[in-house]
Structure 1
Amino acid sequence: MDDVTRILEARESGDTRAAEGLLPLAYDELRRMAANKMASERAGHTLQPTALVHEAYLRLVDPDGEEPHWNSRAHFFAAAAEAMRRILIESARRKLSKKRGERPEMTSFDEQQFETEVPSERLLAVDEAVTQLEREHPDFAAVVKLRYFAGMTVPEIAAALGNSESTVNRTWASAKVWLYREIGEE
């Protein structure tokens, strides 16, 4: 049993101070998840991995001061991945709405600028597809969120979900096929 699981179990058993150690213990893993995800984002992204982790953690903690209840390590990291996903989606939507709301001007074609805008639109398309996938195949969606939105590796996902790596690989492969079909990419 790892330390995160021990803290979650202690908290569930009534140890109110146990949760104080959760963020420091999970921070490195959350930071790595955020850095992995941000590495696949477009260059010049204004959101940094540290800010993404802090924002996600703030969203994980109930604003009314009530302790959230995560029943396992997998549940905690899945909740963190979901929080990161929502933050990235909100950021992409803000950027696209700003881009669409601006008055068009005649400018020279800047290929680099064009390439940096595509991921926001792709991110939104993937998010919409994952929302549908969650309704049809929740286990597929859990793996996609951890892999695509949190940037976790197959071994990390297997550990977080309590599955074998081969199960995660099969689920990821099936989920990718489903997503490509939905999004229309090859």
Structure 2
Amino acid sequence: MATRDEGPAPHSQVTELLVRWREGDHAALEQLVPLVYEELRRLARSHLRREAAGHSIQSAGLVHEAYLRMVGKDPPDWQNRAHFFGVAARLMREILVDRTRKFRAAKRGAGAGELPLDEAIGLPHQRSVDLILLDDALERLAKLDERQCRIVELRFFAGLSLEETSVALGISEATVSREWTTARLWLRHEIAGPRMA
């Protein structure tokens, strides 16, 4: 994958290339990768900073593995740049959870894959949470409210703002804010238990 030293590409340019890729234009994918590579690396670094020390993958490796998963199947019905980065964030989360599960199976590794949580989820008296517990809680949330799960993925894992999340999901910023708050409370209860809620 080539890289690019300039700042982020304009949103409209990325969206246009995503639409062309979805419609089968493979040249669009080749043009897209250099435009989004550094932002994908930033996203990967963000994921890896949250993972426990000792992980065996670097940000470039995480980006490449997510990229291979993304291009290895039919492209989703891309809506825009935020949707693309949301999908990338979900794939990176899946990759890290898969790696943690394999590590634990091989080592019976208690404590592997802990993820520091900041105020985004807001677990009181708890600085980190097990990555697999968080993933399991997000899976349960998706069954209850798919949109709230997507909001968490876009806000927490992809690092999108309230405005970017509202654009990605096609809902108002006020709705994103309200459901983000509800989802965080629900996750706090699920992960920390009733005593901590």
**Which TM-score tier does this pair reach, normalised by the shorter chain?**
0.7 to 0.9
Question: Residue 100 and residue 154 in structure 1: after superposition, are their counterparts in 2 closer, same or farther (change >3 A)?
Answer: same
Query: Which of residues 74, 78, 86 is equivalent to 1:71?
Result: 78
Moved more, 50-59 or 158-167: 158-167
Structure 1 match to 2:188: 180
In the alignment, residue 102 of structure 2 is paired with which amino acid? R
In the alignment, residue 183 of structure 1 is paired with which amino acid? I
- How high is the TM-score relative to the length of structure 1? 0.76
Question: Residue 4 and residue 162 in structure 1: after superposition, are their counterparts in 2 closer, same or farther (change >3 A)?
Answer: farther
What percent of counterpart residues are identical? 41
Indicate the structure (1 or 2) with the bigger Cα radius of gyration.
1
Question: Residue 31 and residue 91 in structure 1: after superposition, are their counterparts in 2 closer, same or farther (change >3 A)?
Answer: same
Residue pair 2:14, 2:35 contacting (<8 A) in 1 also:
yes
Query: Which of residues 64, 68, 73 is equivalent to 1:54?
Result: 64
Structure 2 match to 1:119: 114
Equivalent residue runs for 1:12-27 within 5 Å? 12-13=22-23, 15-27=25-37
Structure 1 match to 2:106: 98
Unaligned runs of 5+ in 2: 1-10, 116-128
Higher-helix-fraction structure: 1
Unaligned runs of 5+ in 1: 102-113
Moved more, 5-14 or 24-33: 5-14
Question: Residue 56 and residue 40 in structure 1: after superposition, are their counterparts in 2 closer, same or farther (change >3 A)?
Answer: same
State the number of aligned residues: 170
CA deviation string 1:78-113 (max 9, x = no partner): 221121111010111122222327xxxxxxxxxxxx
Structure 1 match to 2:93: 85
**Greater relative CO, 1 or 2 (CA 8 Å, sep 6+):** 1
Question: Residue 16 and residue 90 in structure 1: after superposition, are their counterparts in 2 closer, same or farther (change >3 A)?
Answer: closer
Question: Residue 95 and residue 156 in structure 1: after superposition, are their counterparts in 2 closer, same or farther (change >3 A)?
Answer: farther
Residue pair 1:143, 1:168 contacting (<8 A) in 2 also:
yes
Supply the distance in 2 between the matched residues of 1:33 and 1:165 (Cα, whole angstroms).
Answer: 22
Instruction: Supply the RMSD in Å over aligned alpha carbons.
Output: 2.7
Query: Which of residues 136, 139, 149 is equivalent to 1:128?
Result: 136
Residue pair 1:37, 1:148 contacting (<8 A) in 2 also:
no
Question: Residue 38 and residue 165 in structure 1: after superposition, are their counterparts in 2 closer, same or farther (change >3 A)?
Answer: farther
